[in-house]
Amino acid sequence: MKNLEVTCPKCKKKFNYYSSAFRPFCTEKCRLIDLGQWLNESYTVPASKITVEEAEQLEQLLNEKEEPSDEEDSTH
């Protein structure tokens, strides 16, 4: 059996990548926690694969949240 030691992105615990059915997470719990955060905070990009379209949508969300506040200064 292959043995590849990786670190769970959620709990930082080391485990054998090939022994987990929930990789890249060590357990279902970690995967569900991460999935829950992904759904609640749609701008938190999971480490695993997303499509190009999803990436573009996320970039738009991020850009909307980072609007410069220069206009506030001109009102003075």
The least distance separating Zn ion from the CB of residue 11, rounded to whole angstroms, comes to: 3
Kindly give the residue spans of alpha helices, DSSP state H, lying in the chain. Answer: 28-40, 52-65, 70-74
- Residue 28 or 41 having the CB closest to Zn ion: 28
Which structure tokens are listed for 42?
């749609």
- Residue 11 or 58 having the CB closest to Zn ion: 11
- Residue 6 or 11 having the CB closest to Zn ion: 11
Reduced to 3 states (helix: H, G, I; strand: E, B; else coil), residue 67 is coil
The least distance separating Zn ion from the CB of residue 64, rounded to whole angstroms, comes to: 32
Of 16, 3, 4, 10, whose CA–CA distance to 48 is shortest?
A: 10
Residues in the site for Zn ion, rule: CB under 5 A? 8, 10-11, 26, 30
